[in-house]
Amino acid sequence: MSMFFKKPISVDYSLYLIADAEFASGRDLVPLIEAAVRGGVTVVQLRAKGYPYGDFLELGRRTAAALKKRHIPLIINDQVDIALACRAAGVHLGQDDMPPAIVRKMLSKGTVIGVSVNTLEEALEAERQGADYVGAGPVFRTATKATDLPVLGPEGIRRIKDGLHIPVIAVGGITEENARAVKEAGADGIAVVSAILGGPDPQKAARELKRVIGDSSPSWREI
């Protein structure tokens, strides 16, 4: 199956938007994503837990079409079948989802696989099974996602980063105020939900975050 990004050269993970449908607050999520990309978002993960399959698929296809125009990779949360149906650039897995090694066999060559981790041991196992990156968190306490997992802090991100050879994306409670400390701890990128979608102007919020963490040029292109 041909992906619309035919071959991944590399992915700029610096500003990773988790586009959670719950945070659209009744607004159409796709224009919010487009605004965030104009502000500097470099990769988008679409999350729609609780959505009926057909609704998630339709949202995924609309999002994929919008992002294709700007050559921004779309990653689908959890659902491998949705990622395939949307011809997404990748899929993001939780600890309770199928192992990356199994998912890899289901996807086209070059498809990105990310895995959520909370410990160095989980991160090492994800890397061993072929994950392309890990989302490590929560870095700080967050109301975005209910969890009993220990808070890592910047020092936890540094510990995981030092143990891996794949990119580490920090997630959980990251704001304009603390993003720099996370980047200085070695994170390859920051993943946010409410810091961009929680306000009235996603483009401005993304631009401010991009300014804090430093700019970089997008490195995902179609060849």
Respond yes or no: is residue 210 known to be catalytic: no
Alpha-carbon distance of 159 to 151, in angstroms, equals 13
Which one is catalytic: 116, 161, 183, 210? 116
Q: Which of 53, 115, 42 is nearest to 86 (CA)?
A: 53
Respond yes or no: is residue 145 known to be catalytic: yes
Distances (CA, A) of 216 to 147, 180, 220: 32, 15, 12
Q: Which of 178, 171, 145 is nearest to 157 (CA)?
A: 171
Which one is catalytic: 47, 87, 161, 183? 47
Listing DSSP states for 36-67 in one string gives HHHHT--EEEEE-TT--HHHHHHHHHHHHHHH
Which one is catalytic: 14, 87, 145, 207? 145
**Conformation bin of residue 110: beta by default, left when phi > 0, alpha when psi is -120 to 50:** left
Would you name the residues annotated as active-site residues? 47, 116, 145
